[in-house]
Amino acid sequence: MEVEYPKHPSKILIRVTSREMFDGMVVGGANTEKTTLGERLDHYIMRLGPSNPLISAIGIHLTTDGKVCVDWREHTERIELMDMNDQLPPAQAASMMADFIAEHPVAASSHQGHITQKIIVESPWQISGSDA
């Protein structure tokens, strides 16, 4: 069953704040860019290949939580929705990302296997007490 979503990623505005990294430490100032989620995902697809599951994970996390941090070897990116009304329930976010990735066919010379990936999984901070 297909789940409908209100906007295509090319219509979702985001703010990307990049900081250079060296030896795991932030160096230099921040560079802020306003773009669309579709353009940023296209950038990641060009860098990682369309079959990389991290691309979907970034899009789903961003659209469900409103922000995500992506660490690359040379820089870190904090990505935020510019309009929090663009947040989606998980099923809609997953459907949107599946459709977006399907628009980008996997080339025969996929990037898979040519990039070493570092994956850091962190639990979100939770405040205990009031809702427990």
User: In this predicted structure, what is the pLDDT of residue 1?
Assistant: 43
User: In this predicted structure, what is the pLDDT of residue 104?
Assistant: 79
Least confident of 10-14, 65-69, 82-86, 112-116: 112-116
Six-digit token pair at 19?
A: 């900081």
Rounded to the nearest integer, the mean pLDDT of the chain is: 82
Q: What number is the average pLDDT over the span 17-32?
A: 82
Q: Which ranges of 4-52 does DSSP label H, i.e. alpha helix?
A: 37-48
| Prediction pTM value | 0.74
Longest dimension (CA), the chain: 52
User: In this predicted structure, what is the pLDDT of residue 21?
Assistant: 78
Ordered by start, the domain boundaries in the chain are 9-102
